[in-house]
Each structure stands twice: as C-alpha cells, then as structure tokens.
Amino acid sequence: MRGLGFRTLLCLLSCLAAVAATAPAATARSTPEHRAQEWVAAWAASPVRGSDLPGIDSCPAGEGLDDATVRDAVFLSSGGGGVRIRLSNVYGNAPLRIGHATVAIRSAGAAAMPGTMRELRFGGNANTVIPAGEYRYSDPVELRVEALSTLLISVHLPGDTGALTNHPFANQTNYLAQGDTAADPAGSGYSTVPCWVVADAVDVRPEPRVEGTVVAFGDSITDTAATTYNANQRWPDQLARRLQARSGTTLSVVNAGLGGNRLLAERPGQPYYGIAGVDRFAGDVLSQSGVRSVIVLEGINDIGYNATADEVIAGYERLIELAHARGVSVLGGTIMPFKGSSVWTQQREDTRQRVNEWIRNSGRFDVVIDFAAATADPAAPLRLRPSYDSGDGLHPGDVGTAAMADAVGLDELLAVSAGGSAPLTGSAHH
C-alpha cells in the first residue's frame, strides 16, 4: 500500500489553493455562513485524465479531438431560473481552445427542446482558452430548468486537443459530431459516445427552498453501480428524487462517484479510475457551488487491494479534516456487503467489519448512514440482499440503489447541511 507522501501533500495543497480562488471563504462550522445561495451545483462528474479505456474504443478522450463538437447529456438534481456551465481542462496537458458552446433542455436523444438553445459566453466572448490544470465557468444564462430534467451541453473544439479531461463511465449516452454543430437543435449528425467530455459541472440559480448542495463521494457504487443505462437510477439520483419530493427546504445533489477509484492511492497504469480519493476530494467535492455536506462511501477498492482497516480509517480522517476546515459536514456511509464477489476473502471481510465498526462508533462523522445494514441479506448478512444485487455480489442494481437512497435520513441530512447537529443514528429506516 502506497503511503500518503510528499506528492499527495503537494496535490492537496494545490487543490485547496484552487478551491480557495473559486469558492466562498471558509467559515467555522459553529458559525456557518448565511445559507442563501446564488448558485448551487445541480450536476457534476468527477474528471480524470484522458486515456484509452479497456474494452471501450468509442470514447474520444484518450486520443483527443480536432474540429469536433461533443454534446453531453446531464441529469439535473434541482432546477432554477438560470444556469452556468463549468468546462474542465484540469487534467489537460496543454491549453484547451473552446470555439463555441451552447446549452439546451433535451427533448430526446441528441435533440434539443424547441426554443431552449442558449449560446454560452465566457467573459462576454463566444470562445475562450482554458489553461492546462484549470476549469472555467460560463457566464450566467437565463434558462428556466426543472429539477430531474436533462440538459444538453455542446462544446465545439476547433483544434487538436490532445487527451481530454473526461468522466469515462457515464452510464449515459452522449454525442459527438465533426465540425461546429453546437447550435444544431436537431442533433441528427451526432454519433454516440459513452463518456462525458469537457463539461464537469452545471450550476443553477436555485429556487428559494434549495439551501445548498450535498455531494455523494465514492467509487463505482456511487458513480453508476450496475444500474439501467440512460435511466438515472444511481443512488444519488434516487436521493435527488426523495429530496425534490419533500415539502419545505431541500438540497441539490451532486455525484462525485468515480468507477474503480481508491481512497488511498491511484491504481497503477489505470488513469481512467482517477487519482486517489484523498487527492481528488478538494477538487471534486469542495469546489462545488453551494456545497454544505458530503456523503462518503469509499474504501471497498482499497480493501480489495488489501489495505488495512487503520489505513482506510486514516483516509477518512483526512477527508473529515478537509471538509470540516471548509465548514462542510461529513456523513459516513458504512461499506456494503460483498461476499460472493470476486474480491471477497475472509481477511478482507474482517477489514470491512473493523472499518464499519469505526464508522458507526467513533463519533468522527457528523451523521452515520448504515448502507451496509440497509442492503444486507437478512438470511446471509455478509451478502447483498438478492433483490438488490446486480449479479456480481458487489454492485447494487436499480432496486438496491433505491434502498441506499432510502437509508439516508433526510432530517439528519438537512440539519447538518444547515450547520446544525443531528443524532448519529446510523439507521436505515428513514
């Protein structure tokens, strides 16, 4: 297991510096800032370096593009009266030229709903250049968007891009065309791609009852699990539906899951799984507009690489430290059963049990969400409940992700997100 050394520390410091330049100033958790938000993140996707994907040759991020338009389809957790789009070159090797960009409400496939196409500007300009290692927000756009709707973000890349910052396993059909087709509402000339490219966040000017954003931070179980393609059945999507259905104050939801990601270390030779969770936390969580709280569910991949319980716990402590320094509350999710999967051994099961005992009983998390109890088979608690299991013993399907979302106590979540306190219930019955 690789330790958290000098490179990690440098990355954390640089990420925090970038966040400080783009986010509200940190506030003490005991005296949270005023809760009204001009912007909240309504969608995001954790970015990675562009590379070839194993078994997937239709994502262009590794080879890059030249005079082409990407059209990302993104599912919004909350709505509002205006939007702004974040384009990312965080993992680029050279400045990224943006020639033209638009946003629209999706009708179906790559087609926009008539009358909703809006041109994006960057400091008043139709084009911009994003330096390597940075991202850029568009100017605000007046566009009324509904919660649980889908936007199309189209970006024309006029030159040779090299490898592109992307989110590789979107579980969502996205689109690609040659030339500048960003303003084409029909989308008839687009082929399909499986990844989100360049766009990595959408902010909305929220309705008054939306008090901020909760970020779901994790690995493939959060990113997509094994849910139905193009159906928005990830557990953060299910949580967004629950929050939207409630009356009164609520939150937007952002998914910072990343398939294959490890908490403690990058997976060697596999850049599409992202940098270590402790390294990406500042950029993927704390940079999101209006972030109030984060739900952490990560560590099963580290256990699969034979990390010890103490090492995983040290990783959690680091996330808690980073979040609390920014006035962000942290909800800890217990690691779910995985017996029957290809990575299970008794030693790894013992590690999971020790980690979950610490999550439940240490008092370090502001709230505990007992995903493990919520998804376990009552007849065989070391396994997922059969109706929740996608079939691999590790990833839940649509019914399982709904059970995960149901395990989140909305009252506790809203209380800690508002800067208050909540009991450490750890329950799964809300």
Q: What is the CATH number of the domain that holds 357?
A: 3.40.50.1110
8 Å CB contact between 67 and 172: no
Same domain, 23 and 87: no
Last residue of a domain, one of 154, 185, 201: 201
8 Å CB contact between 213 and 243: no
Same domain, 24 and 115: no
Q: How far is CA 124 from CA 7, 71, 128, 185, 341, in A?
A: 38, 22, 10, 23, 52
- Kindly give the pairing relationship between strand 199-206 and strand 40-44: antiparallel
**32 pLDDT exceeds 60?**
no
- Say what the pLDDT of residue 16 is: 39
Last residue of a domain, one of 148, 176, 201: 201
Looking at residues 358-385, what average pLDDT do you find? Answer: 98
**425 pLDDT exceeds 80?**
no
- Say what the pLDDT of residue 36 is: 56
N-term to C-term CA, the chain: 37
- Mind listing the pLDDT tens digit for each residue in 168-189? 999 999 999 999 999 999 998 9
**318 pLDDT exceeds 80?**
yes
**209 pLDDT exceeds 50?**
yes
Which residues span the domain enclosing 384? 6-34+209-417
- Say what the pLDDT of residue 206 is: 96
- Say what the pLDDT of residue 219 is: 98
Question: Comparing C-alpha atoms, which of 235, 258, 248, 255 is closest to residue 407?
Answer: 235
Whether residue 318 is contained in a domain is answered as yes
pLDDT band per the 50, 70, 90 thresholds, residue 57: confident
Give the chain's mean pLDDT: 91
Tokens, residue 331: 């909800």
| pTM of this structure | 0.90
Last residue of a domain, one of 175, 201, 227: 201
